[in-house]
Amino acid sequence: MSEKENVVTKDYKDRLFQFIFGQADHKDWTLSLYNAVNDSDYADPEAIEFNTIKEALYLGMHNDVLFIIAQEMNLYEHQSTYNPNMPLRQMQYVSGAYEAYVKKHKLNKYGVTQVMLPTPHLIVFYNGAREVDDCVILNLSDAFSEDTRETSDIQVRVKMLNINAGRNKKLMEQCRPLFEYAWVMDTSRRYKLEGHEDPVDDTIRLMPMDFVIRDFIMAHREEVKDMLLTEYNEAQSHELFQLEGERIGHEKGLKEGLKQGADGARLEDIRTAMQKLNLSADAAMDFFDIPQELREKYAKEL
C-alpha cells in the first residue's frame, strides 16, 4: 500500500449511509434505492458498479455512495445538516469521478473522437432539523451574482430529498432499507435529545425484528455505534458552526451600520445588539467601540 493510500485509509471513515447502501454484498438495497428515486424497475443488482475514488478521498472530497448503472453515474449522499453548497461540493467530486472513469477505461480526452461519459445524477438524502420541502433543487448558479446566472457556462443541479419522519412517503414505501435507515437516524437523534444514557445502543436494541437491515446492523453493532456517535457529533458541530456564522454576520452588519449611523440609529443598533446577542448596555457599547464621551449620553437614553 502506498503512503497516499495509507493516508486515505487512516483519515476517511465510512458513514452509516455508505455502510448500508455502498456494500457489494447488498447491491439489492442500493438497487432498491435507485429504483425508488428514479421510479424504475431494474431487477438485477449485479448491474450496479460501485466506484471508490481514493484520489478524491485523499483530497477530502468524499462522497457517500457512487455507482454506475445503465450509463448513469449516481452520486448519493446523506446530510444531517442543511447545506446549500452541495452543488459546489458535488461538482468537485464528480470532476474527480470522471477523471478516474477516463483513466480506468483508457479514454482519450485529447482526441478527435467524442468521449462518451455516464450521465451524472446528484442526490442528497436530508434528515436535518431545519424544515424543508420533500424535494428541493439546489443550483450552483445560486452562488453567482444574480445578473450573471443566465449567462453562466456551468450549471450543476443537486436534488435534495427530505427523509425525515413523515416525508416523501412514496419514496420510503418503495425502498424499505431507506425507510429503516431513516428510522435508525431519527430514533437515535430523538433518544439523544430525550436524554437517554446510551441513545445509540437503545436504538439498535429496539430496532423492529422485521427490519431487513437488522441482521446486518446487529452483525456490525460496534461499528454502527461508532458511526452514529461520530455522525451525531459532526451534525451538532456543523449546526453550532452555522449558528456562529449567522451570529458573526449579524454582528458585522450591526457594526457597519453603527459606524455610518447618527445617534438615533446608533442607539437602535445598540438596543438590537442587547436583544439579539443578549448583551448588557455596557457590553453592547464595548462591542461597538463607543467613545467614552458618548457613553454617558447613550447610557441615559438606554
pLDDT, tens digit only, all 302 positions of the chain: 444 333 333 344 568 999 999 989 999 999 999 999 999 999 999 999 997 554 444 334 456 899 999 999 999 999 988 889 999 999 988 998 898 899 999 999 999 999 999 999 999 999 988 889 999 999 999 999 999 999 999 999 999 999 998 999 999 999 999 999 999 999 988 888 788 889 889 999 999 999 999 999 999 999 988 888 777 666 555 554 454 444 445 555 555 555 555 566 577 777 877 775 567 788 778 777 778 878 888 888 87
All 3 cell numbers of residue 251?
A: 454582528
**Model confidence, pTM:** 0.72
pLDDT for residue 14: 62
Do 200 and 186 touch, CB atoms closer than 8 A?
A: no
Closest CA to 16 of 32, 3, 29: 29
Quickly list H helices, the chain.
Answer: 3-11, 16-21, 27-38, 54-58, 86-104, 169-174, 176-193, 199-205, 214-219, 221-260, 263-276, 281-287, 292-301
pLDDT for residue 264: 60
Bridge partner list, 161: 125, 135
Residues written for the chain:
302
Please provide the distance, in angstroms rounded to a whole number, between the alpha carbons at the two ends of the chain. 67
Helices 263-276 and 292-301, packing angle to 10 deg? 70
Mark 60-78 as b/e (b = at least 16 C-beta within 10 Å): ebbbbbbbbbeeebbbbbb
How would you classify the pairing of strands 157-162 and 135-139? antiparallel
All 3 cell numbers of residue 236?
A: 451538532
Closest CA to 95 of 120, 115, 67: 120
Bridge partner list, 79: 126
pLDDT for residue 258: 53
pLDDT for residue 284: 77
Q: In what order do the strands lie in the sheet with 72-79?
A: 49-50, 65-69, 72-79, 119-126, 157-162, 135-139
- Residue 284 C-alpha from the chain's centroid: 35
* Distance separating alpha carbons of residues 259 and 280, to the nearest angstrom: 20
* Distance separating alpha carbons of residues 14 and 267, to the nearest angstrom: 52
